[in-house]
Homo-oligomer: A and B are copies of this chain.
Amino acid sequence: MWPDRKLLDLIETELPIVQAPMAGASGVEMAAAASAAGGLGSLPCAMLDVATARTQIASVRQQTSNPLNVNFFCHEPAEPDPERDAAWRSRLASYYEEFGLSADTRAPAVNRAPFDEAMCEVVEEFSPEVVSFHFGLPESSLLDRVKVTGCKVFSSATTVAEAKWLSERGCDAIIAQGWEAGGHRGMFLTGDINTQPGTMALVPQVVDAADVPVIAAGGIADGRGIAAAFALGASGVQIGTAYLATPEAIITDLHRDALKSAREDETALTNIFSGRPARGLLNRVMREIGPISQDAPVFPTAGGALAPLKAEAEAKGSGDFSSLWSGQSASLAREVSAGELTRQLAEEALGLMRSLGS
């Protein structure tokens, strides 16, 4: 049925569809639903503490015995830089004034921690079928321990050079993340967003360069995108934004509503919410101080100073200061459950591939 079985044979799922791990926007319910439907559900752990990660993995395992992907970030932790933080806060001072907030107002900000010893123990405890990383790979001693559990290791490449780097270090499959993709770009050998290739160019060139299965990501949100990815030589797809329209997405109503009317030319890569480039819907703060700002503190700390503004704006029903992550194909999403979406996408892609060849 599927024209390429390399990924299916590797991870032993029924469908070559990876539900993208979306830290802060997806969790247990989405991962369990996607896996139960035959795809590869993904549980993002970058914003969880160890105890919560453990609880959430256990919870998915209770709901389905199908393969599961557990996802981590592996960035270098940020060095404190009080001077840069102060400059960033002064850049935002006029907004604080606008909301009547004093300059020393603080609000809870999301924490994004890199994969470490303690999380490695969680992986060893649960042995998920797949562990995926973003921003490269963890140090080799930790990576070795992950691989010893028998799980398959995935990571994202935004260039052919990154794909080769990952493949040489033992990645079992490469997620080729094109320009169109929403959320954080996995880029780790380059910081230049101007030269980032689109999915149509990236996938075949990664396929030619890598000797492991390639999972296409970026702009894929329906059966057409999946069929196109297979035509380009991919062995599977990773889909994020389309899953944000499912009831399993844990996003604000503001974010959900913004996605419903999002056009393909209303997103941009921005670093102001975290310090690293990530694609989201254009909003006021991105237009006024971004979308890319050289003043933004390093990942993952940039968002801290925005948190009080975000809280005030959201309380008034405005997403002006929120990170509204989205890829460029939000308009192709449909409001069905994550399990139903997974099955519909697969059926559409298979039907379309049959009709292309007839």
Q: How far is the CA of A200 from the CA of B204 in the complex (A)?
A: 13
A268 near B195 with CB under 8 A, answer yes
B328 near A201 with CB under 8 A, answer yes
B231 near A201 with CB under 8 A, answer no
Stretch of A87-95, A140-148, A216-224, A311-319 that contacts chain B:
A216-224
Contact of A194 among B192, B202, B231, B268 (CB under 8 A): B268
Query: Would you call A105 an interface residue if the criterion is a C-beta within 8 Å of the partner chain's C-beta atoms?
Result: no
- Given A3-B355, A179-B198, A200-B180; A265-B159 close (CB under 8 Å): yes
- Given A195-B282, A233-B224, A269-B194; A201-B264 close (CB under 8 Å): yes
Q: How far is the CA of A264 from the CA of B195 in the complex (A)?
A: 8
B204 near A222 with CB under 8 A, answer yes
A195 near B266 with CB under 8 A, answer yes
Query: Would you call A337 an interface residue if the criterion is a C-beta within 8 Å of the partner chain's C-beta atoms?
Result: no
Query: Would you call A190 an interface residue if the criterion is a C-beta within 8 Å of the partner chain's C-beta atoms?
Result: yes
B205 near A329 with CB under 8 A, answer yes
A196 near B265 with CB under 8 A, answer yes
Query: Would you call A51 an interface residue if the criterion is a C-beta within 8 Å of the partner chain's C-beta atoms?
Result: no
Complex copy number for this chain:
2
A201 near B329 with CB under 8 A, answer yes
A105-133 to B contact mask, C-beta < 8 Å, 1/0: 00000000000000000000000000000
Cβ of A271 to closest chain B Cβ, rounded Å: 12
A161 near B265 with CB under 8 A, answer yes
Query: Would you call A291 an interface residue if the criterion is a C-beta within 8 Å of the partner chain's C-beta atoms?
Result: yes
A-side interface residues, number (CB < 8 Å)? 55
Cβ of A186 to closest chain B Cβ, rounded Å: 14
Q: How far is the CA of A229 from the CA of B225 in the complex (A)?
A: 9
Chain B residues with CB under 8 Å of A331's CB are 205, 208
Q: How far is the CA of A328 from the CA of B201 in the complex (A)?
A: 6
Give the one of A178, A208, A224 with max B CB within 10 A: A224
Chain B residues with CB under 8 Å of A352's CB are 231
Query: Would you call A160 an interface residue if the criterion is a C-beta within 8 Å of the partner chain's C-beta atoms?
Result: yes
Query: Would you call A249 an interface residue if the criterion is a C-beta within 8 Å of the partner chain's C-beta atoms?
Result: no
Within 8 A of B (CB), among A216-243: 218-220, 222, 224-225, 227-233
A227 near B356 with CB under 8 A, answer yes
Cβ of A7 to closest chain B Cβ, rounded Å: 16
